[in-house]
Amino acid sequence: MSFMENLLMALSSLKAHKMRSILTMLGIIIGVGAVIIVVAIGQGGEAMLKTQITGPGNTVELLYQPSDEEIRANPNIFLQAPFKQEDIRALEQIPEIKSIVASSTQMSSVRFQQETADVSSTGINQAYVKLNEMKVEKGRSFSTSDFLGGRRVGLVSHVIQEELFKGKNPVGEVITVANQPIEIIGVLEKPTGLLSFSSMEVYLPFQTWRTIYGSSDFTQVTLQADTSDQLESAGKKAARLLNNMHNTEDSYQVLNMEEIAAGIGQITRIMTLIIGSIAGISLFVGGIGVMNIMLVSVTERTREIGIRMALGATRGQVLTQFLIESMTLTLIGGILGIFLGWGTASIVSFFAGWPSLISWQVVLGGVVFSMVIGVVFGLLPANKASKLDPIESLRYE
């Protein structure tokens, strides 16, 4: 008796009890669906967090973490920007470094006509624009001559247009930043993504910023390299160089992206494990439901089993029939569950702005897993069916 034959037989007997079959499948549908959702969103989230942390451009941020001694010696140490102009010039000599992104930020009062607001004012170098993909929705971005000439121009965040300009187009208007006039040349696009928040920000060419605040130091320096290997050695060299120049032991450090990414991977893996085991439990419960219904079905069909045996079915053939029947039940449930999970994950990621990854491995895993559940939980009922006594089964009312 072929597998196809058994499959058709199973389908027709499941069709004979449509409602019961669907209700029995529900546990499997939900279980497999949950697994698909968890895996899809978990993998999507991990991928997204990783790119957000390491960034697309092979960059590493330099950190300044003074030791306790240094803090004791100079309590105001945090008020000073840790990176000097000569630091940057020295870093430029490191061959692995492709570009150095440097910026300095201070909170300032910004005024337009009668309106004032506290705004974070950041002076940036030209590399900053490229790395942070600063896109303007109105006006234009900075040009090379803006940087070289230290022009009194600035870019503002979208929130400034809303709050300070009440939604009017601010391009061409003049605001004062720390009492110095600045012409707005562009409005930045609203940031997208889960971890981005819109705040009141104004960006100035560093030369401009320097004349306003009278400081040529940087609060933030990020290094960029061509490859992650080069980045690692560049980061190490940079930290050593800066510690030498400032005569510090280990105050200048590089943020280890790999470690953070691995940490995030760990977190999402644990999350996946927890929710996955909940889904596993629901699949287990679904499997028990299948077993339960199959046991009922075997009892109900005792006479059918007796008839089949009288007509020459071996115990093995009866066992196979019921195994394939429960497997068909869970397989259909599993396939429906995959569609449910797929759909739900797509909806969730649509609203959360979070990608969901459905790989063929996950789909294949769902199909195989639901079949395995059918076989495992079908074993007991099928075994019961195959052990029936044909004579007594024929007499069964």
Binding region for other proteins (CB under 8 A): 1, 5, 12-13, 16, 303-304, 306-317, 390-391, 394
| Strands 115-124 vs 153-156: parallel, antiparallel or unpaired | unpaired
Report the nearest approach of other proteins to the CB of residue 291 (Å): 23
Nearer to other proteins by C-beta: 287 or 306? 306
Report the nearest approach of other proteins to the CB of residue 295 (Å): 20
Question: What is the distance between the alpha carbons of residues 208 and 124, in angstroms, rounded to a whole number?
Answer: 9
Question: What is the distance between the alpha carbons of residues 223 and 130, in angstroms, rounded to a whole number?
Answer: 13
Nearer to other proteins by C-beta: 15 or 214? 15
Q: In sequence order, what DSSP letters do the residues of 65-118 get, joined into one string?
A: ---HHHHHH-TTGGGS-SB-HHHHHHHTT-TT--EEEEEEEEEEEEEETTEEEE
Name which of 314, 317, 369, 316 is nearest 341 in CA terms: 369
Report the nearest approach of other proteins to the CB of residue 334 (Å): 25
Using CA atoms, how far residue 374 sits from 2, 299, 329, 362, in Å, is 19, 18, 7, 18
Q: In sequence order, what DSSP letters do the residues of 190-229 get, joined into one string?
A: PP-STT-----EEEEEHHHHHHHH----BSEEEEE-SSHH
Q: Give the up-direction half-sphere exposure of residue 323: CA atoms within 13 A in the CB hemisphere.
A: 14
Nearer to other proteins by C-beta: 75 or 312? 312
Report the nearest approach of other proteins to the CB of residue 330 (Å): 22
Nearer to other proteins by C-beta: 1 or 262? 1
Q: Give the up-direction half-sphere exposure of residue 126: CA atoms within 13 A in the CB hemisphere.
A: 10
Report the nearest approach of other proteins to the CB of residue 18 (Å): 13
Nearer to other proteins by C-beta: 16 or 19? 16
Report the nearest approach of other proteins to the CB of residue 332 (Å): 19
Nearer to other proteins by C-beta: 205 or 306? 306
**Which residues, in sequence order, are CB contacts of 195 under 8 Å at separation 6+?**
52
| Strands 180-188 vs 201-205: parallel, antiparallel or unpaired | unpaired
Report the nearest approach of other proteins to the CB of residue 303 (Å): 7
Nearer to other proteins by C-beta: 357 or 394? 394
**Which residues, in sequence order, are CB contacts of 303 under 8 Å at separation 6+?**
393, 394, 396, 397
